[in-house]
């Protein structure tokens, strides 16, 4: 089989999508309970799939190709029906983050963040995928990961900073990690949204990212110290 390039977890916590490298690479949707294949999609991306993501309600799946234009497609994954598609970017796309609904998401990667809406034309006919480029800070060369919260989009960059987005532009920057921010995920708090960031520096950090408030660091977990304390690595050895 072909090399697996990416995976995404369904909101039900039991279904996983995996995608492949190379021409003819398929997207397979699995049950983690019995490893049964629930659906299979041939996305038609010429050189393979680089990113996949489920929508919040789980009905749709977005795929991003590894072709020259990093083409994007939105699918009803249970039936394999393509809802809409568009050219993504000539620059590499690293991550997809759905908004809180089914029809809007963001992509990010090398020198760009782009906001997408899957809309039905007023005159009827097939849905269209419309993208709008975000205003990226000049210093940012690569946006590695993204996560949507109730307050809007949060992205993590190669320079170790988090960006909080409003109205299509980065409004706040916070130095989060020494080295790249590798991943972001939501972590609901008692009163508002929380986000966890994972850094190249071997730390995991918990942030408050509520509406109309600045990003606030709540907790830092140093994995190198944790692993050392548990005897999982020897002193001086890298964590990864």
The 8-class DSSP code of residue 67 comes to S
Distance CA 25, CA 21 (A): 6
pLDDT digits (tens, 9 = 90+) for 36-88: 999 999 888 888 899 999 999 999 999 999 999 999 999 999 999 999 999 99
pLDDT digits (tens, 9 = 90+) for 199-235: 999 999 999 887 666 788 999 999 877 655 555 444 4
Mean residue pLDDT of the chain comes to: 88
Is 143 a residue whose pLDDT tops 80?
Answer: yes
Total residues found in the chain within this entry: 240
Overall average pLDDT of the 107-128 stretch: 90
Check residue 227 and give its pLDDT. Answer: 56
193 within 8 A of 150, measured Cβ to Cβ:
yes
Q: Which of 95-99, 117-121, 216-220 has the highest mean pLDDT?
A: 95-99
pLDDT digits (tens, 9 = 90+) for 168-185: 999 999 999 999 999 999
Check residue 229 and give its pLDDT. Answer: 53
Q: By three-state DSSP, how is residue 229 classified? A: helix
Strand locations in 69-150 (E): 72-76, 81-86, 93-98, 104-109, 112-119, 128-133, 143-149
């Amino acid at each position: 089989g072909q090399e697996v390039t990416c995976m995404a977890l369904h909101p039900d916590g039991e279904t996983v999508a995996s995608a492949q490298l190379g021409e003819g690479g398929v997207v397979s949707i699995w049950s983690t309970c019995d490893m049964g294949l629930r659906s299979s999609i041939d996305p038609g991306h010429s050189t393979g799939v680089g990113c996949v993501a489920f929508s919040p309600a789980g009905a749709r799946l977005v795929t991003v190709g590894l072709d020259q234009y990093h083409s994007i497609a939105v699918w009803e994954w249970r039936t394999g029906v393509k809802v809409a598609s568009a050219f993504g970017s000539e620059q590499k796309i690293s991550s997809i983050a759905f908004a809180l609904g089914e029809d809007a998401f963001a992509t990010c990667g090398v020198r760009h963040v782009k906001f997408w809406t899957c809309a039905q034309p007023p005159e009827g006919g097939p849905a269209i995928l419309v993208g709008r480029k975000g205003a990226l800070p000049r210093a940012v060369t690569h946006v590695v990961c993204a996560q949507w919260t109730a307050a809007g989009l949060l992205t993590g960059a190669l320079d170790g900073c988090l960006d909080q987005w409003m109205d299509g532009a980065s409004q706040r920057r916070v130095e989060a990690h020494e080295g790249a921010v590798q991943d972001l995920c939501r972590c609901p708090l008692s009163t508002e949204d929380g986000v966890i960031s994972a850094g190249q520096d071997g730390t995991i950090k918990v942030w408050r990212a509520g509406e109309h408030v600045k990003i606030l660091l709540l907790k830092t977990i140093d994995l190198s110290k944790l692993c050392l304390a548990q005897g999982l690595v020897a002193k001086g050895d890298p964590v990864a």
